[in-house]
Amino acid sequence: MSASKSSVSMDQHEVDVIIVGAGFGGLYSIYKLRELGFRVQAFDAAPSVGGTWFWNRYPGARCDVESLQYSFSFSEQLQAEWRWTERYAAQSEILRYLEHVADRFDLRPYIQLNTRVKSACFNEATGRWDIQTDDDKRWSAAFCVMATGPLSQPQLPDIPAIATFEGRAFHTSRWPEEQVDFTGQRVGVIGTGSTGVQLIPALAESAKEVVVFQRTPNFVVPAVNRALKDNELEFWRKHYPQIRHDERFSRTGVWDPLRGTRSAMEFNDAEREYLYRAAWDRGGFGFQATFPDLLTNMEANKTAADFVRARIREAVKDPETAEALCPKDYPFAAKRLCVYSGYYETFNKPNVRLVDLRREPIKRVTPQGVTTDKSDIPLDVLVFATGFDALTGALKNIDIRGRKDKSLRTLWSDGPVSYLGLCVAGFPNLFMLSGPGSPAALSNAVVTIEHHVDLVARCLNDLRTKGMTHIEATGEAQREWCDEVRALADQTLMTQAKSWYNRPPQEGKPRIFVPFVGGVGVYRERCDDIITSGYEGFDLYAHGVEAMRAAAQTATPSACIIAGE
């Protein structure tokens, strides 16, 4: 075969790396891979950069991880010059930050907005990925980086006649850019997860009536948001290097110097109460870290659950509503903890009403509202805070085909499999950021995204240096990783609640628990070991004789990828 033979057809645009998504993951991928000299092209279906922070602009939307930690660490200059205004940044501030990142690092020329990737197929003849976008363009790339986000595919509830509603209806993750006025409106909210608990107090400020349809109550701990002070920012800037290091080797990607180290059961009731109270008053996810065994020891867990239930009963005046808001049938924090101040107190407002769907299930949506098995509830607006086709939805939405035309959608029909939550056997040179099987779902997303992007960049650079063109997870490594993820989850109480990362066994199908619960730091050390041991669990190879020759002659990976023998 001639070395001059072109690997791509004339109407295909050719780059080294296609990146899908322009949120935190996509933006940092562009920056990092361009820094290493790779030719990249990113796509995003949205009209703006920002990913989840573009789409989730519902009233009250705010990050529940502290802004000084939920931010990029890759550039000290960026870290020093950006001034976060509040302990927890509002959606608009995070979107401004990501727009600033895109401008500051000149990333926009590499992003095509308003463009959805329809398919990505591995072409065995060329050893490259053929990508089709919804503007009918075709692209060819040596590598694909899926920065599609674990929570980006909105999910509507399976309620009968949902489309018949004649009022305005919104999903929180597809909120319109223009302001929505709720004054004088009767608003129904379905869903009380992290999104619902932020949205409901905000709606209650202006709506005539807010009817909250709750299927499962959540544990909500206060955020205690506030403006950030200059001396606080100064402290962080001074100590950032150590803080960022600690985040990377922590359990959840969050620096928390007050994290407890002794079992809840080593303290008496009064001591425990004191420690819970202190964490409660400080606000935030730190409450969950009061004791290290809250998610492994049911007795310890019950002490936290009892404490929160006592706070709910204190906050909510109507005893029946308070009881309905108390989670009782799953362990504390087994579903993702919600963090927001004032959620429970909202139910004391005369314009807010809770409908407990466990006692009064929804029968159907009607043109005028919602019918439960007890009453017709008239509504002007219906808001679905019903979450996402989490972790796999965005990837399954793209027709991804690996070697032998193997479909990722089909492979994952009974739940996702992966190696490290980063790669899938049979899908060479395809990387998922924050994929299923990584710790992303249980972590500070920015820390895990930066880690994954750094891993991908290191891997691409290593391939180039070694004269290799392809990397692919082995089936055996994938099986062992999935077994390990499952076994680790079994050691915790997290499998005892239905959540977007844990699907209990159903209809003869096994339980699916998706995230790696071993912690962000353990995962990082594991990935480092795998790389330094020569990419254990991966096959690295050169595609064709020409590829090896080309790799020896040039340092650019695009030149290494030549049509197969």
Task: Please report, as ranges, the residues that interact with ligand NAP according to CB under 6 A.
Answer: 62-65, 151, 157-159, 190-196, 213, 215-216, 336, 357, 385-387, 500
Distances from the Cα of 374 to the Cαs of 214, 379, 508, in angstroms? 15, 16, 34
Between residues 62 and 524, which has the closer beta carbon with respect to ligand NAP? 62
- In the numeric block, the tokens 């820094």 are attached to 35
Pick the closer one to ligand NAP by CB: 167 or 393: 393
Burial of 263 (C-beta count, 10 Å sphere; 0-12/13-18/19+): middle
Q: Hey, what amino acid is at 184? A: G
Q: Please enumerate in sequence order all residues whose Cβ is within 8 A of that of 441, keeping only pairs 6 or more positions apart, or say none.
A: 150, 390, 391, 434, 500, 501, 514, 515
Q: How far is the CB of 375 from ligand NAP (least distance, A)?
A: 16
Cβ 343 to ligand NAP, closest distance in Å? 12
Q: Of the two residues 65 and 422, which places its CB atom closer to ligand NAP in the complex?
A: 65
* Smallest distance, ligand NAP to C-beta of residue 254, A: 12
Task: Give the residue with the Cβ less far from ligand NAP, 26 or 191.
Answer: 191
- Number of Cβ atoms within 10 Å of the Cβ of 189: 27
Q: Please report where in the chains the tokens 């002007």 appear, as a residue.
A: 380
Q: Shortest gap between Cβ of 79 and ligand NAP (angstroms)?
A: 20
Nearer to ligand NAP, 64 or 546 (CB): 64
Nearer to ligand NAP, 151 or 354 (CB): 151
Least distance (Å) from ligand NAP to the CB of residue 407?
Answer: 26
Nearest distance, CB of residue 4 and ligand NAP, angstroms: 50
Q: Which is nearer to ligand NAP, 300 or 441 (CB)?
A: 441
Q: Which long-range contacts (CB under 8 A, 24 or more apart) does 1-9 make?
A: 1/544, 1/545, 1/546, 1/563, 1/565, 3/546, 3/549, 3/550, 3/562, 5/562, 5/563, 6/563, 7/126, 7/127, 7/128, 7/140, 7/561, 7/562, 7/563, 8/126, 8/128, 8/140, 9/138
- Residue 369, beta-bridge partner list: 366, 378
* Ramachandran sector of residue 310 (left: φ over 0; alpha: ψ -120 to 50; beta: rest): alpha
* Nearest-5° Cα angle at 389, 388 to 390: 80
Provide the minimum distance between the beta carbon of 89 and ligand NAP in the complex, in angstroms, as a whole number: 10
- What is the length of the chain? 565
The rounded radius of gyration (Å) of the Cα atoms in the chain is 24
Least distance from C-beta 565 to ligand NAP, angstroms? Answer: 47
Q: Which CB atom, from 352 or from 425, has the smaller least distance to ligand NAP?
A: 352
**Shortest CB 446 distance to ligand NAP, Å:** 11
**Least separation, in Å, of the C-beta of 54 and ligand NAP?**
14
Per DSSP, 344 falls in state H
Q: Cβ of residue 395: shortest distance to ligand NAP, in angstroms?
A: 17
Say what angle helices 520-532 and 230-248 make with each other, to 10 degrees: 50
What pairs with residue 310 in β-bridges? none
Q: 21: left (phi > 0), else alpha (psi -120 to 50), else beta? A: left
Residue nearer to ligand NAP on the CB measure, 126 or 194: 194
Strands 138-146 and 430-432: parallel
- Secondary structure percentages of the chain, helix, strand, coil, to 5: 35, 20, 45
Token representation of residue 403: 């070697």
Toward ligand NAP, which CB reaches closer, 40 or 333? 333
Closest to ligand NAP by CB, 264 vs 385, is 385
